């Protein structure tokens, strides 16, 4: 693992500033890193939630498959973000599959080290409460949007939430994600996602390229997600 990339990633992790120098050094020693190619499983469903995970580079998706093989993606995790704290706290079997959407590097912090931070660092505990509250707010808004918004609003919400400042503070404005994956994340078909994206492009809030989406006006995108 490139030490420069590691330090850059940790410097972007806001929770690290909650720790003392000694605690931060312990975290660095406990961390391990692995690379995954696009489509590779990072963590299988129904396996122990033994690590808190961070996306150093790339993008992951959290999904489940029905017995008939139909996939349901309920979150995409861009680079710079940490996730899975709920499952780690509960010590439960992981309730979803974690898959690399594109070639990715993932940080693994053992559960024991995570719980030690929670026990020894009051600032980290407060940060974690805020993180869990932000995640709860995201899913409440997601349900409301999917029930009350039109399909363009659903796609706009799924896109704009990749820039949620509490959950995904370091997302680049050009996102490498297929329209099929965005449709699955938005709860709509690829064809419906394509129409919504074309509409958003006509409104000047995004710019479409092959395999990627550039956010031109994030505030306008968030307004469409919120107000439609």
Averaged over successive runs of 10 residues, the pLDDT of the chain (228 residues) comes to 77 94 94 95 95 95 76 86 94 93 95 97 97 90 74 91 89 89 87 94 93 93 83
pTM above 0.95, yes or no: no
CATH class given for the domain over 3-121: mainly beta
Please tell me the predicted confidence (pLDDT) of residue 3. 72
Which of helix, strand or coil describes residue 173? coil
CATH match of 149-227 with 3.40.190.10: no
Pairwise CA distance, residues 205 & 213, whole Å: 10
Please tell me the predicted confidence (pLDDT) of residue 2. 66
Q: Where are the domains of the chain?
A: 3-121, 149-227
97-100 vs 59-65, strand pairing mode: antiparallel
Please tell me the predicted confidence (pLDDT) of residue 107. 96
């Amino acid at each position: 693992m490139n030490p420069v990339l590691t330090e850059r990633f940790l410097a972007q992790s806001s929770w690290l500033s909650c720790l003392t120098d000694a605690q931060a050094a312990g975290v660095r020693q406990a961390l391990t890193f692995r690379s995954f190619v696009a489509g590779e499983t990072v963590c299988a469903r129904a396996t122990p939630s033994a690590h808190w995970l961070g996306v150093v580079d790339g993008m992951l998706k959290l999904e489940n498959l029905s017995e008939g093989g139909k996939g349901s993606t309920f979150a995409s995790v861009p680079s710079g973000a940490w996730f899975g704290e709920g499952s780690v706290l509960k010590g439960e079997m992981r309730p979803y599959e974690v898959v690399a959407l594109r070639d990715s590097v993932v940080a693994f912090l053992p559960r024991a080290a995570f719980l030690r931070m929670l026990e020894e660092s009051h600032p980290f505990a407060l940060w974690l409460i805020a993180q869990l509250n932000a995640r709860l707010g995201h899913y409440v808004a997601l349900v409301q949007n999917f029930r009350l918004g039109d399909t363009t609003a659903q796609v706009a919400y799924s896109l704009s939430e990749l820039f949620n400042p509490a959950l995904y503070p370091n997302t680049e404005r050009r996102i490498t994600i297929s329209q099929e994956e965005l449709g699955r994340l938005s709860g709509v078909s690829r064809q419906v996602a394509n129409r919504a994206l074309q509409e958003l492009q006509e409104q000047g809030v995004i710019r479409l390229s092959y395999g990627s989406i550039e956010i031109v006006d994030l505030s306008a995108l968030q307004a469409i997600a919120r107000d439609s």
